[in-house]
Structure 1
Amino acid sequence: MKVAILAGSNRRESASTKLVRYAGSRLIAWGHDAEVFDLRERVLPLYDPDTDSEPEEAKALAKLVAESDAVVLASPEYHGTISGVLKNALDYLGAEHFDGKAVLSVSAAGGAVGVSSLTHLQAIVRNLHGVNCPDWISVGGDQRRFGPDGSPLDERMRLRVENVLGNFIRLASVLAAANRVRV
């Protein structure tokens, strides 16, 4: 299974980015191909629908998502919604990149949990014709601490990530098989 992971934060020590890097390492340990596209490191210019030229990083993003069987979208929660950099990246993509693919939403918030950003992500995924994983991962407060190896320090959070990733991969496998036989 090939999984594209979009880390949608501009913060150097972003909890959402740390979380999806950890998730990607777990997927790789399980034998899957997981690639993190970090929007802090791979900056996309503001989306302009009137331009004829597509930036190289946008082409790389579109290729990664198009060639993936499933997608993970991660964002901090800013003012009750997703980050601007993640929304901008998603504006470069369309239904042809997400159609029929499993999508897992992940968020980190300074407060308890990032439910508003996750709800907004799921609405965006539906509009891109992706299939939302019924689970999501949200971290807040002390759950946003990570060890030197990148794993969450909170044992319950590590177990939550493992369980959600398992459900996500099962859904992605079913959808990928169905998409291969779709007419």
Structure 2
Amino acid sequence: THVFGGEDLARLPLYNPRATERTEAERVFVDTVRQASAIIIASPGYHGSISGLVKNALDLLEETAKDDRPYLADMPVGLIATAYGWQATGSTIAALRSIVHALRGWPTPFAAAVNTQQTRFDEEGRISDPAVEGQLRLVGQQVARFAPLAGTIGASN
């Protein structure tokens, strides 16, 4: 398991499709996604959509366009959105689903919406709300359940 948090994503330069070389941070990110059998994308909801850091990282997956498995093809993708209100969590999840479909991935049936207006985190970053914890666990369980199928979804016999 590899986690790319906000600090990691902030190290990625603005995606430039014309760049002939990639930074070490870009290479590590793209190579990690290439090797993954499943991923979870979590984004804060900013102005009704995903954050710029998350969008920039997803744009970088254009580097996989000519791979045998381009983008997120046949990969289960769990989705988590956090925002200060329900409207932004819903629109952020909708944006993530749309992007994952465009990248040929398979969003899991359930996505977690965390309304930070109602849900608090402790000093170590843990959630104190059992219902939200259950949502996050369900996303992880669905991704783990579908991960062994990665690469076989849609494959011909």
TM-score range, shorter chain: 0.7 to 0.9
For 1:34-49, list aligned pairs within 5 A: 34-42=1-9, 43-49=11-17
**Deviation, structure 1 residue 134:** 0.9
**Deviation, structure 1 residue 173:** 2.5
Give the counterpart letter for 1:107 in structure 2: A
**Deviation, structure 1 residue 40:** 2.1
Give the % identical residues. Answer: 30
Give the counterpart letter for 2:132 in structure 1: M
In the superposition, the TM-score normalised over structure 2's length comes to: 0.84
**Deviation, structure 1 residue 148:** 4.2
CA contact (8 A) 2:78 2:142 kept: no
Q: Structure 1: any 5+ residue segments left out of the alignment?
A: 1-33
Q: Structure 2: any 5+ residue segments left out of the alignment?
A: none
The equivalent residue for 1:106 is 80
For 1:16-165, list aligned pairs within 5 A: 34-42=1-9, 43-94=11-62, 96-112=70-86, 114-140=89-115, 141-143=117-119, 145-165=120-140
**Deviation, structure 1 residue 175:** 3.1
In the superposition, the TM-score normalised over structure 1's length comes to: 0.73
Q: 1:148 to 1:157 in 2, by over 3 A?
A: same
CA contact (8 A) 2:40 2:79 kept: yes
Provide the secondary structure at the position in 2 that maps to 1:74.
strand
Q: 1:103-136: CA deviations, max 9, x gaps?
A: 0111100113611011111111111111111110
